[in-house]
Each structure stands twice: as structure tokens, then as C-alpha cells.
Structure 1
Amino acid sequence: MSVETVKEYFKSIRFRIWLSFVVFSLGTVALMLFFQLFFTPVFYSLSKTNEYKSCADAIKMWIGSEDWNPYSIDSVNGLRNRIVKLAQSNQLDIIINLPDVNNGTIYASKSGGNDLLVKEVGDNIKSALEEAKDNTIITKTDDNDNDAEGIILATFAKKNDKVLAYIFIFGYTEPIGTTLNIINALSFICSNVVLVAACIISIMISSHIANPLVKISRNVDRLITGDFHMEIRKTEYDEIATLTKNLNAASEEINKTEALRKDLMANVSHDLRTPLTMIKAYAEMIRDLSGNNPEKREKHLQVIIDEADRLTLLVSDILNLSKLESGVMPIERSGFDFSEVLKGIISRFSLLDDMKDYQVRLEAEDGISVNADQQKIEQVVYNLVNNAINYIGDDKLVTVRLFRKNSGTARFEVADRGIGIPAEQLPYIWDRYYKIDRSENYKRSVKGTGLGLSIVKGILTSHGFLFGCDSILGEGSVFWFEFDIFGSQQGKIPKRKEGRSSENTGL
């Protein structure tokens, strides 16, 4: 394994996840041991102190009650019984000194520290209680005879500023050193087990998370090299699943774009090569054969002119489409009578009625105006009508309609009764050079450039008009767009919607 490979591994997400998990586990174990070693004795001492305070509060409550009478034998015996039970249950030595009663000392022992407690109890402690916080003194002391540490709590019960009793509580803090050593040893063993388990689990988790990302990275490398046919398997992690879904979608779109690019290049090459071939062939025929024959020469020259016009149209369409898609072609809006403009356009198609038995019929309501770029809207009309003629039905009829949908909106339609378009292919008809089918019935007309509908889409999109195509297979198609009637106060501006396609029950 090379040094570079090791460096790359240390930078990988798999190693980083593993290291983060191990460091977190190690930090957690270290923090637990730290608290155990340094805070357990302190916590134990505080717990014992609170235990003594609770016992002292209970004794104060008993002495401060209305039933307490230091001169009553029954009352004193009742207090003594309670103190004995309290001392036995908590392993304590308790002394209660009644200042108003001669030899008024109540004593209860369970811990065995009688002598030590007597030594510590003195007038100095009693006098210091008045100045102590909460009238309570807590002190630690060592019992050398028993080799143990003890805690003494001194306080008093008071009522109406009169001291009723002095309370002294003593108890040993049981040696916990041995217990701590055992606990520390067990904790060390458990910590090692936890760290080993953390390492194993972190390796599994890091691999589980990193493997999909590694596969995604490898597939992206394939994308870079031009292999767009990939399928990344989904995972249970939402973020990675979303990334996988987006990359799969991007791969599909790139694949479609690549296929479209190849198809575009093939079609453009064909459309350029065909007229150039024709121009060259007829130019050579004029040079070699028909140069001295005016009739043949005129016929051959006309072919050259037609093919040159076809080249000009193709180049013009490509340039216009590029400008529309890049947004550099300006839209110069102005209000004009669309009904009148449409009549002039359709009248120019009358030549087809005579030459090829085509009929372009206009059904337009008068007085419908639009605020748009007139030259570009005329191009839309030309492209839609020419497209309908290319795929015309046996009746040789193309119907152009313009009518009001409501008081503020108008609709333009170009309908043919041709073979129609399959529903699943409707969303793609606006793509440049898109071919519905390779069968003879669906071939694009040789006079078209294959860019007409793409240009229509670009112009209508830049105007913000609704547009689409409704088609039924075997019955025909209706291409349409909708717009606000210019000057109308009630029409709403339609939202832009590109390429809306739907099946309809009639044309």
C-alpha cells in the first residue's frame, strides 16, 4: 500500500466516521471514569451529610411539637424510643441535651462511637452554634482507635427564641476505598469492552454509510468519462437516497441530451449535406450539359435557388432558436389586430389550394387584439400551419381558429385530421429535431428543418403565453396557444406553462 493510498484513506469519509465514533466513545468513557474517581467520595460525603440533616430535622420537629414536655417522663421516654429507632436504622450515635433539666441527656448509640462523641461535645460547640449558618455545625473527625473517619453534626431545637434542646449526631463514613477500587477495576474492564465494541460498530456504520457514497462517486467518474447509462441503488438514508435519485435523474437527462446532441448533429448534417449536394450536382449539370439549353438551364438554376433558400431557412431557424434559448432575442411588444393579421397570413397559403389541393380554412372572430411581438407571432402561425400541412390527413384540410374563450382571453388553434400523436410522446414534440416515429407515416417533411415547434415554444415561452397540443391517435392534432385580449380589463394574465399536452375527446 503506497503512502498516497494511506493518505487518501485517512481523508475518506469512512475513516472520518470511524474516528469520530471512536473519539466520542473514548471521551465518554474517560469522562465517566473522571467523575467516578474524583466525585464519588465527595458525592458520598454529601449524601451522608444530608442524611444527618434529615435526622436532625426530624428530631427538631418532635421536640418542637405541642405534645413535647421535658418534665414529663412519658414525653421524654417517647422521644427516647424514637431516637433509638432513628439511630438504629441509620447507624448513628445521637445525643440530645435538655438545658432546663438536670442531667437531661438522652443518648442513643448504634455506631459504637460513644467515647468519641462525648469528647467532641462541649460548651465550645454549644456556644458556636449561635453564630453558625442555619445554627448548624458539621465537622469531620478521625477515630484513631477504630481507624475510621466520622462526621459530627451539632444543632439545636429552638422555640420562641428559647433553646429547647441541643442535638448532636455522629456517624462513621464507612470506608469506601476498597469499594471504589473494585468499582474502578470493573469500570476499566467495561471501558475496554465498550471501546472495542465501539471500534467494531463504528467500522460497520462507517462502511454502511460510506459504501453508497463510494458507489455514487464511481458512477460520477463514469459520467465524466461519457458513460451515461448508470443506475445507482437506493439506500435507507434519506439524504443519500435523495442524492442517488438526483444523480439517476441527472444521468437520464444527460443521456437524453447526449442522444439529442447526436441526433441533432445527424439531422443538421443531413439537412446541410442534401441541399449542398443538390447545388453541386445541378451546377455541374449546367456546366457540362445544359449550359447552352436555356430551358434546362433555367430549370436547373431554379433547383439551385430552391436549395439555397432551404439552406438559408435552416441556418435562420438555428440562429433564431439559439437566440430564443439564450434570451438574447428581444421581444418588442405592441398592440395589433390579430384577426386582421391572421387573415393576411392565411391568404398567402391559398397557392397551396391550387397547386397541391391543400385547403387552409380560417375561422376567426373579428376584433381580437393582442399585445405581442407581431413578427414573432406571425412566425408562430407560419410554423404551426406548415407543421399541420406536413402531417395533414387524407381530407387535405387544415383548420385555423381564433376565438374568445371569455371576455378577457382568446385562443388560437391549428387543427389537422392526420394520424395524431401518441399520448406518451406529446411532451417531447417541442424538442428540436424530435422524431415521433421512424415509420413512413411519421417522417418529417423534407421541406421542414425540424426546428419549427422548438421555435414556437421559445417564442410563446418568452411571451408568457399558455400553449400546448391536444391529440388523439388516428384522429388528428390541435396545436394551440392562449393570450390576454389587448385592451380587455377583465382578462387575467395566464401563468407560463411550457408544452402543456393532453388528450381530448374531439378536435
Structure 2
Amino acid sequence: MFNNNSFKLHKHRLKMRMSLWIGFILFGVLITIIFFLMLFTYIQVHFVQQSNNAMQDAAWDIVSEYGNDDFEETIAILARNNGYLIQIISEETGLPVLSYNRNGKISQPQVSIEIKDLFTRMDDSHGYCFYTIEDPSYQSNRSAQAIVLSVENGYRQVLVVSQSMLEMESLNRILIHRVGIVFGLTIALAFLIGLILASYFTRPFRHIIQTAATMEKGDYSAHFSEDSGPYEAVSLAQTLNKVSAEFNATEQMRRDFVANISHDMKTPLTVIKAYAEMLDAFSADIPQKRAEHLARIISETDNMTELINELLELSRLQSHSFSLHLSVFSLNNMVRMVFDRIKIMSFAEHATLHLEADRDYSVRADLTLLHRAVYNLVSNALKYSADSKDVVVRIDSTVTGQTRLSVIDHGIGISQEDLTQIWNRFYRSPNHGNEIRGNGIGLNIVKEIFEAHHCEYGAVSTLGEGSTFWFTLEKND
């Protein structure tokens, strides 16, 4: 039994296959119709035109032979070889004075049209004309070429060369009959090919739909087959596998993030609770101990506040629900402000912060956001500097004239594998363990700030030697 989703999936597959199948049949029908129209046009235009031109040339050949000894022999040969009815009609008597049938033999005088109409046509066409007439003897039409051959005693003698169009009409009937047969065969062939190709094209898409349905049920390890099928299906499967891999990686980072956040929030809460209990039980009446315990409670509260602020800041930056408040300011002074803020933090104890700049650099940027980015970079440099808490912030110019700020430490360094992922949200290197507190948000915030400013940025590092994080801004001086 199909459930509702399975029924919809089955219905979608049938609809896809039916659409392709009908498409192939219509394509076959269209090709047949186009072929028929081209063939019909060729017969009606090219073949008929060639036949009429040949008849016209024959008429002028007869005119050129008029008066020669072999005049009648020429008429007989042309009539026999081409199936023409050739007559010379006198205006005086209204009857043919000479008539050769399609076998090249002299025949009984006969006229296929009224003589009056013939000579009326000649009056209107200055001595020669081409026309089509009915031929009752063949129940068909005849095409005719008429030319004034001579004028005797004021009466014209007109050469009329004509041929029956019965052969042409018969050819059309045969063509229609054959096209009907070809049309039927084309439909049958298109039906079979359509079924085969529809199955070929839809099979990989059916597998994709089935795999997607598996993922919908929560099995994100499902793999889309890339083995066979049309290029579009293979390309789609490859893209979906990449999306699936990225989704799985993001899901893993999310789980790690939840675990880290839970740990980072649980730790200060535990410390706050412990010191609050000690404050209540032991140090309420001891000023020195009370001050130490209160300071630790305040410090852990600050850690939680910073964590929550980072989460809110990241959410705001990634939602793009903000606008840059650009202003011109001294980058050197902003770095000094960052140093002043960091020096009061516990992790900056015994730290040495240096600013290296050959002059004062002015830039146009969002001061608050850029301050946050540089603060995150410098605080990270201190946290990962191990025993050597010596951090240098260098400001200089690039060869293209941009202002570059680099944060340099001599700490534990970052592996090349981790360098490609450190900007990702929630990512923390497994090599750092739990001895260094962090939640994988800081560098992602930095990345969002840099990209909002359209900065170039990056990092270089060597394990055991230290790291350099840098970004560039356009000069404003």
C-alpha cells in the first residue's frame, strides 16, 4: 500500500515518463510532417517548374525549325520523347492543321480548349502565353505553351504544345499514400523509442527522487548515484551529493557547537554557583575573600555575557539586517583602543602588544564593526600564543596602494588542513582540545565583517611557529 507521499512520488514519476514519451512521439510526427511538406513543395514547385520549362524550350525549338524540311520530324520526336500533344491551329478555320499525339504520331484534329479563348489569350500576351486547361479525355488538367508560329493572309497560325498533368496528380496520390504509411510507421517507431528513451532519462531522476525521500526521513547519509544517465542527471546528482556533504558537515558542526556552547555556559554557571555558595557560607564576613569571590562571579558573568553577545552579533551579521555606518578614522588610533580594551581582560595578563606603523593611516569604514574584528583577531592571537604572549599589529601599504593590517603571533600555529576551515561557523580545530576556551564563532564574525566591507583577507600559519591574520582596506588619505 502506498502512503500519501509514496503515491505523490509515484504519480510524479509517471507524469515525468509520460511527458517525455509524448514529447518523443510529437517530435516524430513533426519530423514526418516537415519531410512531407518539403517533398510536396519540391514536387509542386521544383518538379513542375522543370517540366514546364522543358515544355517551353521544346515549343521554341519547334518555332526555330519552322520552314525546314525536318520540321514535322522534329515535332514527332519531341511529342514521342516527352509525351506532348503538339498542334498547329489556324485562326482562319479554328481547327488544327497539324496534330501529333504523345506517341509521336499524327492524330485526328482535336482542340482541348475553345479556339476563341486561345486567340483571346494570344491577343493579351503579345504572341505567346502559358496556361492550364481542363482535359475531359483524361479527367485531368493540361498545361500548355502557345506561340504564334506564322501569319498568313492576316490569320495567325498558333503552335500549342501541351502535356497532361495526370502523371503529376497520380504522383501526388502515391505520395499521400506513402506518407500515410510512413506516418504510421513513424508513430509506432516514436512510440517504442519514446518508451526506451523516457525510461533511460527518467531512471536516474527516479533514483534521485527516491534518495531524496530517504533523506526526508532523516537518513542524511544517503548517496545520490552518479554512475549512469544523461549529463544533466549525473550533474544534478553530483551537486546534490556536494550539498548533502556540506549539510552533514554543517550538522556535525552544529552538534559540536551545541556541545561547546553547553559546556561554555555550564562552566561559568557552575563557577558562579560555587562561589555564591562559598560567599554565603564562608566569606560573607571576610572582606578579602568576599572581594575575591565576587570578582570571580563577575568575571564568569562577563564570559557568559560575551558569549551571548557573540551569538547575537553573528545572527545580526548573517541576516544582513544592518547597514554600514561609514566614517573616516585613524586605523592606528583604533588599534590602540583595541589594546586598551584587551589589557583589562584576564587572558591578556602578562601580554605584550605592539603596534608597528611607519605613519598614521586613515581609512573609511564602520568603526564599531572594524574594532570588533580587530579585537577578535588580537584576542585570538593571545589565547593561542601559549606561553609567548607577544602579539604584533602591523599596518603598512600593499604594492597596489591599499592599507593592510596584520595581526602576528608566535604561538602554537594552525595546520594547513585547519586553515581552510577556520572561517567557518562553529569550527574549532580538534588539535586544540579543551584547554583553550572557544566556541567557533569569533572568526566567523570577523569574516562577515570583512565581507560586508568587501575586504580581501586571509591567514598564513606554521605549526609551532605562529600565525598571521591580515586584511586590506582602501586608503582614504
Q: Do both proteins adopt the same fold according to a TM-score greater than 0.5, normalized to the shorter chain? A: yes
Whether the aligned pair in 1 keeps the contact of 2:414 and 2:461 (CA below 8 Å) is: yes
**1:88 equivalenced with 2:91 (yes/no):** no
Shift of 1:219: 3.1
Query: Once the two structures are superposed, what CA deviation does each residue of 1:47-89 show, in whole Å capped at 9, x if it has no partner?
Result: 67974663344333452x4xx563xxxx1x2322322221121
> Separation in 2 of the partners of 1:446 and 1:107?
118
2:133 paired residue number: 139
| Deviation string, structure 1 residues 101-139 (Cα, Å, up to 9, x no partner) | xx9955544438855543658855664443466545543
Match in the other structure for 1:19? 22
Superposed CA deviations along residues 399-418 of structure 1, whole A, max 9, x for unmatched, are 22122346953221111122
Equivalent runs, 1:330-345 vs 2, <5 Å: 330-343=323-336, 345=338
Of 155-164 and 327-336, the range deviating more from structure 2: 155-164
Contact 2:20–2:194 under 8 Å retained in 1: yes
Change (3 A) 1:200 1:402: same
Deviation string 1:212-245 (CA, Å, 9 cap, x unpaired) is 3223333333443343334434466454455444
Q: Quickly say closer, same or farther: Cα 1:7–1:33, change in 2 above 3 A.
A: farther
Q: Determine helix, strand or coil for the equivalent of 2:424.
A: coil
What aligned pairs does 1:90-105 form with structure 2 within 5 A after superposition? 90-96=82-88
Q: In the aligned structure 2, how far is the partner of 1:423 from the partner of 1:158?
A: 102
1:227 aligns with 2:219: yes
Q: Which runs of 5+ in 2 are unaligned?
A: none
1:401 and 2:360 correspond: no
1:443-499 residue CA offsets vs partner (Å, 9 max, x unmatched): 36545454222222233333333322122334321011222333x2xxxxxxxxxxx
Q: 1:388 to 1:445 in 2, by over 3 A?
A: farther
Aligned to 1:470: 460
Q: Deviations over 1:149-176 (max 9, x none)?
A: 6747362235899987422345556679
Q: Distance in 2 between matches of 1:6 and 1:329?
A: 42
- Summarize the Cα distance change of 1:329–1:48 in structure 2 as closer, same or farther, 3 Å threshold: closer
Structure-2 change in CA distance of 1:81 and 1:317 (3 Å): same
What does residue 279 of structure 1 align with? Answer: 272
SS in 2 for 1:454: helix
**Distance in 2, Cα, partners of 1:115 & 1:62:** 18
The alpha-carbon distance between structure 1 residues 373 and 432, as it changes in their structure 2 partners (threshold 3 A), is same
CA contact 1:390–1:444 (8 Å) conserved in 2? no
Q: Which one of 228, 246, 250 corresponds to residue 257 of structure 1?
A: 250
Quote the Cα distance in structure 1 between the aligned partners of 2:160 and 2:169.
Answer: 27
Q: How much identity, in percent, do the aligned residues show?
A: 27
Query: What CA distance in whole angstroms lies between the structure 2 residues aligned with 1:208 and 1:389?
Result: 60
**Aligned twin of 2:299:** 306
- Alignment correspondent of 1:365: 358
Q: Residues 24-423 of structure 1: matches in 2 within 5 Å?
A: 24-26=27-29, 51=51, 54-63=54-63, 65=64, 70=67, 75=68, 77-96=69-88, 108-111=100-103, 115=107, 117-118=109-110, 124=116, 127-131=119-123, 135-136=129-130, 138-143=132-137, 151=142, 153=144, 155-157=146-148, 165-169=157-161, 189-234=181-226, 237-291=230-284, 293-343=286-336, 345-346=338-339, 357-392=350-385, 395-405=388-398, 408-423=401-416
Q: Is the 8 A contact 1:137 1:154 kept in 2?
A: yes
- SS in structure 2 at match of 1:139: strand
- 2: distance between equivalents of 1:129 and 1:410? 95
Compare 110-119 and 369-378 and name the one that shifted more: 110-119
Take 2:9 and 2:459, find their aligned partners in 1: how far apart are those partners? 59
In structure 2, give the amino acid aligned to 1:455: I
Match of 1:499 in 2: none
Q: Does the Cα contact within 8 Å between 2:201 and 2:229 map onto a contact in 1?
A: no
Q: Which amino acid aligns with 1:403?
A: D
Q: In the aligned structure 2, how far is the partner of 1:362 from the partner of 1:44?
A: 92
Name the CA distance, whole Å, in 1 between partners of 2:241 and 2:323: 36
Counterpart AA for 2:17: R
Please tell me whether the aligned partners of residues 350 and 359 of structure 1 are also in contact (alpha carbons under 8 angstroms): no
Contact 1:17 1:206 in 2 (8 A): yes
Offset of 1:297 from its aligned partner? 4.2
**2:316 match: secondary structure:** helix
Q: Are the counterparts in 2 of residues 223 and 251 from structure 1 also a CA contact under 8 Å?
A: no
Summarize the Cα distance change of 1:116–1:264 in structure 2 as closer, same or farther, 3 Å threshold.
farther
Change (3 A) 1:165 1:59: farther
Q: Residue 442 of structure 2 is aligned with which of 446, 449, 452?
A: 452
Q: Deviations over 1:10-47 (max 9, x none)?
A: 961111121232345456668988999xx89xx68996
Check the 8 A contact 2:113/2:133 in 1, yes or no: no
Equivalent position SS for 1:457: helix
Report the aligned-residue RMSD: 4.5
Deviations 1:192-214 (A, max 9, x none): 43322211100111122222322
* TM-score of the aligned structures, taking structure 1 as reference length: 0.75
**Aligned equivalents of 1:253 and 1:339: distance in 2?**
40
Closer, same or farther in 2 for the Cα pair 1:241/1:372, shift >3 Å?
same
Match of 1:501 in 2: none
Instruction: Determine if contact 2:99/2:108 at 8 Å carries over to the other structure.
Output: no
> Which residue identity is paired with 2:24?
F
